[in-house]
Structures are given as C-alpha cells and as structure tokens.
Amino acid sequence: MSRNKLRRFEENARMPHVVQPDFVQLSGMESFYLKDHWQEFFPAGGGPVTLELGCGAGEYTLAMARLFPDRRFIGIDKKGARLWRGARISLEEKLGNVAFLRLQGHLIDRVFGPRDQVHEIWLPFPDPQPGLSRARKRLTHPAFLERYRKFCHPDAVLHLKTDNSDLMAFTLEVIKQQQLGLFEYYSDVHRQLPEDHLLRQVITKYEAQFLSAGRIIQYVQFSLFPQNH
Ligand SMILES: C[S@@+](CC[C@H](N)C(=O)[O-])C[C@H]1O[C@@H](n2cnc3c(N)ncnc32)[C@H](O)[C@@H]1O
C-alpha cells in the first residue's frame, strides 16, 4: 500500500465525522450503533438526511451541505482513500452537517434504519456494471431499491447522473416496471439546463473526465416508492 494511502487511512480513523463500521459491526449479530441514531450524530443537530452513494471525493455532499445548512449529508464510498478528500474539506470548512461513511453499498440497510429520516439518495456516476451477470450490482437495481426502502422516508427521491446510456435505459425501465414517479429527466444535462443549475455547477472528478472525452451526461430524478396509490 502506498504511503499516501496509508496516511489517508490514518487520518480517516482520527476524524470524528468519518464512520468506518468493521466486519463484526456489520455481521448482523447485533444492530450497528448508529442505525436509527444518525439524527444524534451531527454537531449541527438533526434534520432530513441525504445520502451520496459511491461518493468518491464527495463533491455533491460538500456542495449541498454548503447550500442547505438545515439538511444533513452523508457521503458513502467503499474506498477510504477516496472519501478522505471530502472528509478533509468538510473538516477544514467546519461543516457540522456532514459525515462520511466507508461501506460496501449492499450493506447499507445494516447501517441505516427507518428512524434516520433519509429523504434523498444521490448516485453521481455510479459504476455502470455492464453485462447481465453484474446487473444486481447496479445501484438502481430493484434489489438495491428494496434495501433503500427499508430505511427511507415514504417521500424519498433518488437522483442518478450518468454518462452511461445503458445504465440510464436500465434505470428508466425499472422506474416504469415498478410504477415509480418520474420527476425529472434530462437526456443532455449540459445542453438542456442553465449554467447556474446545481447539476451543472457541481462537476465531479469523473464527470470532468467524461466531459473532456465528449460524453453526454444524463440525469433522472424519481421516487423510491411506487406512485400507484
Ligand atoms: C465512477 S466513481 C464516481 C465517483 C464520484 N461519484 C464522482 O462522480 O466522481 C464510482 C465510485 O463508487 C464507488 N463504489 C462503487 N461501487 C460501490 C459500492 N457497491 N459501494 C460503495 N461504493 C461503491 C467507487 O469506489 C467509486 O468511488
């Protein structure tokens, strides 16, 4: 392991707003200590929670935390060296409404419960997981939506931003089949939205690479729960 990575891991362990559940805590033998208690975790107090899953350096988490001080934001990634960057910035800026969580996404329902008031999940540029055999790993697969439903608010909303048209087509099909509410869809974010829109203001590391390669960025916002009632 590189010294740089090691230093980041050491810093993560010292930062009070970085949570890294270990194997035993996630084993399911007993409930994770923050499950249903995230409202008490933030120095700024409780409030509606937004998750950014596969956050990398947490660009959306940071931007939204600055814009909405009354809301709470948690950046989640399986790679500690990546979320370290967002964690450092939020500490330097003294953002009391931000946390970072090192976690494999499929374990998310072991860490959050219905009392945590998760209202939103952002998925900026998730790994597209191409091919049939990997479909269940897509963060918008019905199996993932089922996990999110265990702890999200009934009005919860998901945001997917991607350059991958197969992942977008897959997600639109899931939305249709499950009768979820389709609130917003842009087939070309950077042509259809004004420059000052959040989706154009926050350009993540991966988005910058995709844009310079000439790729088209799409976005969909949809309800987590069916809208057929
Ligand atoms: C393509 S990168 C995008 C990062 C960031 N959202 C951005 O736009 O720059 C995908 C990120 O998702 C993380 N990731 C992939 N699968 C994951 C999973 N199952 N659980 C948690 N994080 C995951 C990776 O470690 C990586 O940081």
Question: How confident is the model over 166-217, as pLDDT tens digits?
Answer: 999 999 999 999 999 999 999 999 999 999 999 999 999 999 999 999 999 9
Active site (catalytic) residues: 127
Q: Is the CB of 73 under 6 A from ligand 1?
A: no
- pTM to 2 decimals? 0.97
What pLDDT score was predicted for residue 229?
Answer: 54
Instruction: Evaluate whether 140 touches 174 at the Cβ level (below 8 Å).
Output: yes
DSSP-based three-state secondary structure for 208: helix
Phi, psi of 82, rounded to the nearest 5 degrees:
-80, -50
Residue count (the chain): 229
What pLDDT score was predicted for residue 103?
Answer: 97
Mean pLDDT by 10 residues, the chain (229 residues): 91 96 84 95 94 98 97 98 97 97 97 96 97 95 98 98 98 98 98 97 96 98 90
Q: How is the chain split into domains, by residue range? A: 3-226
Please tell me the distance from the alpha carbon of residue 136 to that of residue 133, in angstroms, as a whole number. 8
DSSP lists the bridge partners of residue 121 as: 51, 158
According to the 3-state scheme, what is the secondary structure of 69-89? CCCEEEEEECCHHHHHHHHHH
What pLDDT score was predicted for residue 94?
Answer: 96
Give, in words, the CATH class of 3-226.
alpha beta
**Most ligand 1 atoms within 8 A of CB, residue of 127, 159, 205 to mutate:** 127
Q: Is the CB of 79 under 6 A from ligand 1?
A: yes
